Structure 1
């Protein structure tokens, strides 16, 4: 066992005192004090040359700066950037150094990390429990192929009112289109912000969300809500993460973690002030913050505008002539052959669906070009009753 840190000087003195008595050999002393023979001879030599003062621990600090030591101005800039971007790590700060210094003065990412750690600016990472990986539903190859959207968890503002930030981002470039603070998570608020974003940036092929209101509902057909059917009318396919699996939209969840750190700890006093913080976060996230998944480029430098403009007017849809076109009533059902009912969804009331006969009394039901489910006509022949649309054939 090595010298105890708290009593290292006392044990050295005790060792010398026992050695000077001449009663013990070096081997015996080394065994008792649990040190090596070279260490013992080194202590004796220092005592003979300098006395008890020679037993003090010497500083291990180099007498002259290391030739490869990081330039002082670079160190100062690293600390300044960290102060400005507290949630950023060494990789992102390392990228920003190239704006102010020549390549030969810029240290490695590991050195930047060590400088931050030396100054107490590195937070220890929590060890995560290893779980079986869940593969993401989408891995887009182009911008605007898939957008993600969600309401980041609500948080209290200074006036004790909750803020619900709606966020919309491109899954490929990670470009955040908006972070809009709302008082409630409802259809009207979400639809208004989607319209503003669509008018400015165009529309995507798909929108990936979780199953929470107003985006989806696990109890509804295909999880579609009123907002989902509006997306379908615009030519956008709504798609969802599996229930209780937010990690399937992990890119968006990761952005939410940064948003929370920048805007909710602490929050602003009211929604107007909070929105200024959200806008500032979006601007920095898109134009300043380097992104590892983009080879340390910024989302704004990678993102491309959609070539599909927002249609201000939704046109009527022409169903195939082989389909039977029916109108959904106010109770969310369609009337089948005068006296039977097939329940679909209250979100479809007033809209027209198409039913396609695939044989044996089985009908496939579509809203525009999106499949909703099946119903079996034989059920009506057995007994007059209402049935619900099924997403799978039994």
Structure 2
């Protein structure tokens, strides 16, 4: 019959039971169980204070680590998380430097661990790793490219949709405005762009998607009436490829933060919703550190534009090599009294310049922006109206 194996806990209990009989001295018990006298007295002391439960193996970790995070810092981390519940450990750690020294502020990993231990970190679903797509417009200077878009509509408490228009500088990420509108139309967008231009100046380019009122894949060069107004102000409209919002990814990422802060839940009406949007803009620009800016805020990085907004659009004078024609009410230009070339209804009443390329082909410009071309021979052969073409084939 094999010997019965005993655990350490069983041996401790047996030792205490033998000691309680009073038949043996501590020295004899130590010799029998193969332990030292200090160990024996330690077990006896723990048993007398807490009973048999005290005989279980206890942690040997020190009660207090010399490099442990101070309680005041932990409370500061938790307070910042309550104020900015959508921020992570990196951004919260950056704000700690305003109240504590660099030696006192813990690492990002420690801040994250403190938040996790207090139930303030929500585990995120692991996303499938995909090949990254980089933006096609990557400016190196402030006001080189601005991005604009209507963030997806959401219902307010009064069951009316809010459509926030956002405009931001693509280099500094400075958010000029988040304006709530009832509709995504030309009048609303133009009014807010005018206010922003008057305050911050105008950029060289404005990057948008192809949605109304910014662009349309069905028009020449995707230009809309708002696009032609930008051109008149000396701004070049640029567009993401259709169905590729990731090409303006930095703006879409800002929209995710805006939705979390302002639309979950939304306010009752547009006036209350606008207060939330204004608060988000102020926090996003002046308080929230940005990783792409080396943890600086957009307000610390942004410079105002030196190009002023033109309250009155000056007349444009085409070079003598151009023929100047007026776009009629049907969006076309009359060619040699007999033919019509359709340009766009957005330029109704405006003047375009026509430049001959040779062999009966003419290029059409609005101010200094190329729109397309038409073939004079095709008009004469068909004797009908035609539309501008973009590419020669």
Between the aligned partners of 1:197 and 1:59, the Cα distance in structure 2 is 66
SS of equivalent residue, structure 1 residue 105: coil
Corresponding residue of 2:73: 74
SS of equivalent residue, structure 1 residue 358: strand
- Asked whether the equivalents of residues 47 and 55 of structure 1 are also in contact (C-alpha less than 8 Å), the reply is no
Corresponding residue of 1:377: 376
Between the aligned partners of 2:160 and 2:60, the Cα distance in structure 1 is 54
Q: CA deviation at 1:90?
A: 0.5
1:290 paired with 2:289, answer yes
Distance change in 2, residues 1:118/1:202 (3 Å): same
Corresponding residue of 1:366: 365
Note the alpha carbon deviations across 1:114-168, whole angstroms, 9 max, x for none.
1111111112223223333333111111100000000001111111111110000
- Asked whether the equivalents of residues 208 and 238 of structure 2 are also in contact (C-alpha less than 8 Å), the reply is yes
Corresponding residue of 1:18: none
1:23 paired with 2:2, answer yes
Q: CA deviation at 1:221?
A: 0.6
Between the aligned partners of 2:309 and 2:224, the Cα distance in structure 1 is 20
Between the aligned partners of 2:57 and 2:347, the Cα distance in structure 1 is 81
Note the alpha carbon deviations across 1:251-303, whole angstroms, 9 max, x for none.
11011011111111111111111101000000000000000000100100110
- Asked whether the equivalents of residues 9 and 55 of structure 2 are also in contact (C-alpha less than 8 Å), the reply is no
1:46 paired with 2:9, answer yes
Q: CA deviation at 1:50?
A: 3.0
Note the alpha carbon deviations across 1:240-259, whole angstroms, 9 max, x for none.
00111101001110110111
Note the alpha carbon deviations across 1:40-63, whole angstroms, 9 max, x for none.
xxx623321235957986454834
SS of equivalent residue, structure 1 residue 104: coil
Distance change in 2, residues 1:153/1:302 (3 Å): same
Distance change in 2, residues 1:253/1:44 (3 Å): same
Corresponding residue of 2:152: 153
- Asked whether the equivalents of residues 208 and 239 of structure 1 are also in contact (C-alpha less than 8 Å), the reply is yes
Distance change in 2, residues 1:381/1:197 (3 Å): same
Give the greater-gyration-radius structure (CA).
2
- Asked whether the equivalents of residues 12 and 55 of structure 2 are also in contact (C-alpha less than 8 Å), the reply is no
Note the alpha carbon deviations across 1:332-366, whole angstroms, 9 max, x for none.
11111111111111111111111110111111111
Distance change in 2, residues 1:64/1:175 (3 Å): same
Between the aligned partners of 1:191 and 1:389, the Cα distance in structure 2 is 27
- Asked whether the equivalents of residues 46 and 55 of structure 1 are also in contact (C-alpha less than 8 Å), the reply is no
Q: Could you list the runs of 5+ residues in structure 1 that have no partner in the other structure? A: 1-21, 27-42
SS of equivalent residue, structure 1 residue 321: coil
Between the aligned partners of 2:384 and 2:338, the Cα distance in structure 1 is 9
Structure 2 matches for 1:156-235, cutoff 5 A?
156-235=155-234
Corresponding residue of 2:89: 90
Corresponding residue of 1:250: 249
Structure 2 matches for 1:310-329, cutoff 5 A?
310-329=309-328
Between the aligned partners of 1:127 and 1:382, the Cα distance in structure 2 is 62
Select between 51-60 and 174-183 the one with higher mean Cα deviation: 51-60
SS of equivalent residue, structure 1 residue 378: helix
Between the aligned partners of 2:61 and 2:219, the Cα distance in structure 1 is 70
Distance change in 2, residues 1:267/1:59 (3 Å): farther
Select between 134-143 and 124-133 the one with higher mean Cα deviation: 124-133
Q: Normalized against structure 1, the TM-score is what?
A: 0.87
Corresponding residue of 1:8: none
SS of equivalent residue, structure 2 residue 358: coil
Structure 2 matches for 1:32-43, cutoff 5 A?
none
SS of equivalent residue, structure 1 residue 169: strand
SS of equivalent residue, structure 1 residue 49: helix
Corresponding residue of 1:121: 120
SS of equivalent residue, structure 1 residue 325: strand
Aligned length: 357
Between the aligned partners of 2:346 and 2:253, the Cα distance in structure 1 is 32
SS of equivalent residue, structure 1 residue 77: helix
